[in-house]
Structure 1
Amino acid sequence: MADWVLPVLIGVVVLVVGSLALLVPRRRRRALPPAAPPVAEPTTPPTGPAPPSGEEPVETAEPSRAPPAATAPELTTPESVPSRLVRLRSRLARSGALGQALLAVLGRDRLDEAAWEELEETLLQADLGLEPTTALLTELRTRLRVDGTRDPVAIRATLRELLLAQVDPTMDRTLATARREVDGTWLPATVLMVGVNGTGKTTTVGKLARLLVAQDQTVLLGAADTFRAAAADQLATWAQRVGVEVVRSDRDGADPASVAHDAVDRGVADGVDVVIIDTAGRLQNKAGLMDELGKIARVASRRAPITESLLVLDATTGQNGLRQARVFAEVAQLTGIVLTKLDGSAKGGIVVAVQRELGIPVKLVGLGEGPDDLAPFDPESFVDALLG
Structure 2
Amino acid sequence: MTAPAEVLKGRHDVLRRARTVRESPVRAPETDVEPVAAVSMARPLGDWMENPELLEEPQVVLPYVAVEGRVTLFSGREKIGKSSLVGGAVAQASRGDPVLGTPVLGMVKSLVYSIDELVGDTVRRFAMSGGDMEMIVINDRPRTVAELIAHAIVDIKTHDPDLVVVDTLSRVLDNSGVDRNVAKDVGPAMNRIVDLLHDSAVSGALLYHTGKAGREYSGNTAIGATVDEILTLRRRGSSDEDDFDDDGSDDGRRLLVQDGRNLRGRVHLTYVNGVYQLYQETTAPREKVLEVLHTHGPVIGRSELAKLAGVRKATGLEVIAELIGGGFIVENQRRLSLGSRQFPQGGTTMEPTPGTNRDGGAFTGSRFGNPHPAALGTGQFDEEEL
User: Which one has a bigger Cα radius of gyration?
Assistant: 1
Higher RCO, 1 vs 2 (CA within 8 Å, ≥6 residues apart) = 1
Q: Which has the higher helix share?
A: 1
TM over 0.5: no
Structure with bigger strand share is 2
After TM superposition, the score normalised by the length of structure 2 is: 0.38
Q: TM-score, normalised by structure 1?
A: 0.37
